[in-house]
Amino acid sequence: MDNPASTDKPSSSSARDGGQSIAEARTQLKSIAGLSATSIEVDETVSGLNKHHQVLVKATAETSADLPALIDHLAQLGWSVNEDEPDTGVYVRLQVSPQPVIGDIAKQNGWKDAAYATSTDRLKQLVLLPEAAVRARFGAWPGPVPSASDLGK
């Protein structure tokens, strides 16, 4: 039952039908060949009386061989987590050596509203894909669970 005192909008409800649990997403992320040091988290921030959620998907890639497809896959994986709607967006952090600017790669792959900084190697690993852009690419939240076979395309 919903908390009647909650200030969350209905679309931010928890544990929606569809998508997958965070535990399932973590298992899927760990199973992706060529990735290590993987994690996926749902974070909550509060601004005034409003709660906001974001998903952070992190991994270290062995190679920079198909980073555009990997960014898309990790973004879709984050969007598929049905715990809380990521109204702030999906963060993707990819570490690879040498470290390219992940945000530049995302923009070149059609993520026109990607937000990122380039001042340090750590910041070069991170890109925020805003909620509207993720929704436009993958549909309503929670989005479909990505298939491992999508990475080979």
Over residues 57-68, the pLDDT tens digits come to 999 999 998 999
Helix (H) / strand (E) containing 60: strand 50-61
Query: Considering only CA atoms, which of 141, 44, 123 is closest in space to residue 88?
Result: 44
- Report d(CA 20, CA 23) in Å as an integer: 8
For residue 2, the model assigns a pLDDT of: 40
Of 61, 86, 66, nearest to 76 by C-alpha is 86
Amino acid residing at 96: V
pLDDT > 70 in the chain, percent = 88
Q: Is 109 helix (H, G, I), strand (E, B) or coil?
A: coil
Query: Residue range 104-111: average pLDDT?
Result: 97
Give the tens place of pLDDT for each residue, 23-36. 999 999 999 999 99
